[in-house]
Amino acid sequence: MNVTALGLFIAAAVIYVSNWNGPPVGVTLGLALPAAGVAVTVAAGAFGWMLVQTYHVGVRLTVNQEQDEDSVQQAPALTIVRHRQAG
């Protein structure tokens, strides 16, 4: 998704680079492409956040965190879960 967003930003730049100092061209495409790029970037960020927060992709839990994981996943939002004391 990030590559798609980059492509949209580059496409907008390519469209306007030939008319940089010349007569203005229509602004519709110049607004639509970057807006779509921002939307795709936000979506990519949401998917990345979901991978880390929900599925713990790339996250290594400590032994205590692994023990607490079930209670953390079942706890309602804004609930503080106390970690078990080691030993």
**Is the pLDDT score of 68 beyond 70?**
yes
pLDDT at residue 85, rounded to an integer:
62
Cα-based angle 51, 77, 84 (whole degrees, multiple of 5): 85
C-alpha span between 20 and 17 (Å, rounded) = 5
Higher pLDDT, 82 or 7: 7
**Is the pLDDT score of 38 beyond 80?**
yes
**Is the pLDDT score of 81 beyond 70?**
no
Any idea where the domains of the chain sit in the sequence?
Answer: 2-59
pTM of the model: 0.66
C-alpha span between 79 and 66 (Å, rounded) = 18
**Is the pLDDT score of 6 beyond 90?**
yes
Cα-based angle 27, 29, 30 (whole degrees, multiple of 5): 60
- Using pLDDT thresholds of 50, 70 and 90, give the confidence band for residue 1: very high
